[in-house]
Amino acid sequence: MLEDEQYADLSVCQTYWRAFDTGRIPCSQSSFYRIAKAERMTGDRRRGRHGGGMPRPVPKAVATAPGQLWSWDVTELKGPGRQRFKLYLVIDVFSRYPVGWRIEHREDTTLAVDMFASAFTRYGAPQVLHADNGAIMRSHDLLDALHAANTAASFSRPRVSDDNPFSESLFKTIKYDLNCPDRFDHIDHARAWTADYLAGYAGKHRHSGLAWHTPESVFDGTAAHQQQHRQTLLNRRYLSHPQRFRRPPRAPEIPTIVGINHRRTTQPLSQTG
C-alpha cells in the first residue's frame, strides 16, 4: 500500500485508513504501522522532501553457501599530495572472501566490467551482486554484463550506509590495519600492498563473523574439517580436566545463512491484527 502511487504523499495512518475503507487491508492499524516501521517507510514520506519518488524498499538478499551473493564497492586510498587512488573490491558475502579487486586512478565502467569478467571466469557468476548507488554500479554496461551472466543486481537505498555492510566493514578493516600506509608513494605501491594484505586476510585472518575461521577456508569448504579438528581438541581438553567446565565445550559453529538485511523480517499480515 505504501508503495502505491495514489498514497505517495500520505502518512502511514492516512494510507492505512484509506486503503482499509476500500477493503484492501486485513490487519490492524498497529500491525500496519509496525511493519512499515520495520521496513523504514515511516517518517516524512512527501516526495518533494526527498527529490521525488517513494522511499526505496529495504534490499534483502541471503546466501547459504559461497558463490551465491557477492558485494562490491569502491573506496579511496591516499596517494602523494592530492592524488587519490580508487580501490575496487568484490567479496563473496557468505565467506567474506575477496573474489576480485583492482586499484586505478579513476572510477570507470569499463574497468569494473573487466574486473567482473575476470572474477566470473575464475569463480563463476553469483546469483546476486549487491552494491551501493554509485554511477558505475548502475551503469548500463555493467548491468548488461550481469544480465548476460544471469546475475541479479541489488542496490542499497540512497544515503543508507548499512545496506552494504560487508563491503564497508572490509574497507574499514583495511584502512585501520596498523600496517596500512597513511599515504601510498605511487599506485604500484598501493597495488602491491593491497595484494599482500588481501592474501593474508583471505588465508590467515580469523573472522569473528565466520566462527573464527578464515575467509578462504569457508570459501573453499575446508572450514568444516577445521571445525571438526577444533572440536576434537576441545573434547580432549574436557576429558583431561572435566572439573574446569560447567558443560562440554563446543567449537563455534559457522553461520548457515548470511545476507543483506536478512534479519529484518516482517510478520505476515494477521486477519485479526
C-alpha cell at 227: 571445525
Helices and strands in the chain: count of H runs, count of E runs: 8, 7
Does residue 200 lie in a domain region? yes
Does residue 109 lie in a domain region? yes
The reply to whether 164 and 192 lie within a common domain is yes
The reply to whether 22 and 152 lie within a common domain is no
User: Looking at residue 102, which CATH number applies to its domain?
Assistant: 3.30.420.10
The reply to whether 112 and 184 lie within a common domain is yes
The reply to whether 94 and 204 lie within a common domain is yes
User: Do the beta carbons of residue 127 and residue 146 sit within 8 Å?
Assistant: no
Query: Among residues 176, 210, 244, which one ends one of the domains?
Result: 210
User: Do the beta carbons of residue 137 and residue 88 sit within 8 Å?
Assistant: no
User: Do the beta carbons of residue 55 and residue 157 sit within 8 Å?
Assistant: yes
The reply to whether 38 and 125 lie within a common domain is no
- Report how far residue 66's alpha carbon sits from residue 126's, in angstroms, rounded to the nearest whole number: 9
Range of the domain at 182: 61-210
Query: Among residues 210, 233, 268, which one ends one of the domains?
Result: 210
The reply to whether 155 and 205 lie within a common domain is yes
The reply to whether 115 and 193 lie within a common domain is yes
The reply to whether 90 and 27 lie within a common domain is no
Query: Can you give the pLDDT at residue 39?
Result: 78
The reply to whether 88 and 12 lie within a common domain is no
The reply to whether 65 and 197 lie within a common domain is yes
Does residue 183 lie in a domain region? yes
Does residue 268 lie in a domain region? no
- Report how far residue 180's alpha carbon sits from residue 171's, in angstroms, rounded to the nearest whole number: 11
Residue position matching grid coordinates 563463476: 124
Query: Can you give the pLDDT at residue 58?
Result: 83
How many domains does the structure of the chain reveal? 2
Does residue 261 lie in a domain region? no
- Report how far residue 250's alpha carbon sits from residue 225's, in angstroms, rounded to the nearest whole number: 15
Query: Can you give the pLDDT at residue 171?
Result: 95
Q: What is the CA radius of gyration of the chain?
A: 23
* Residue-by-residue pLDDT tens, the chain, 273 positions: 887 767 766 788 888 887 877 777 888 888 888 888 887 777 655 554 444 455 677 888 999 999 999 999 999 999 999 999 999 999 999 999 999 999 999 999 999 999 999 999 999 999 999 999 888 999 999 999 999 999 999 998 877 767 889 999 999 999 999 999 999 999 999 999 999 999 999 999 999 999 999 999 999 999 999 999 999 999 999 999 999 999 999 999 999 999 998 775 433 333 333
Does residue 199 lie in a domain region? yes
Q: Which residues of 121-159 are buried (b: 16+ CB within 10 A; e: fewer)?
A: eebebbebbbbbeeebbebeebbebbeeeebeebbbbee
Does residue 80 lie in a domain region? yes
Return the beta strands (E) in 54-206 as ranges. 61-63, 69-78, 84-92, 97-104, 128-131, 152-155
For residue 175, the one-letter residue type is: K
The reply to whether 140 and 199 lie within a common domain is yes
The reply to whether 72 and 29 lie within a common domain is no
Does residue 262 lie in a domain region? no
Query: Can you give the pLDDT at residue 206?
Result: 94
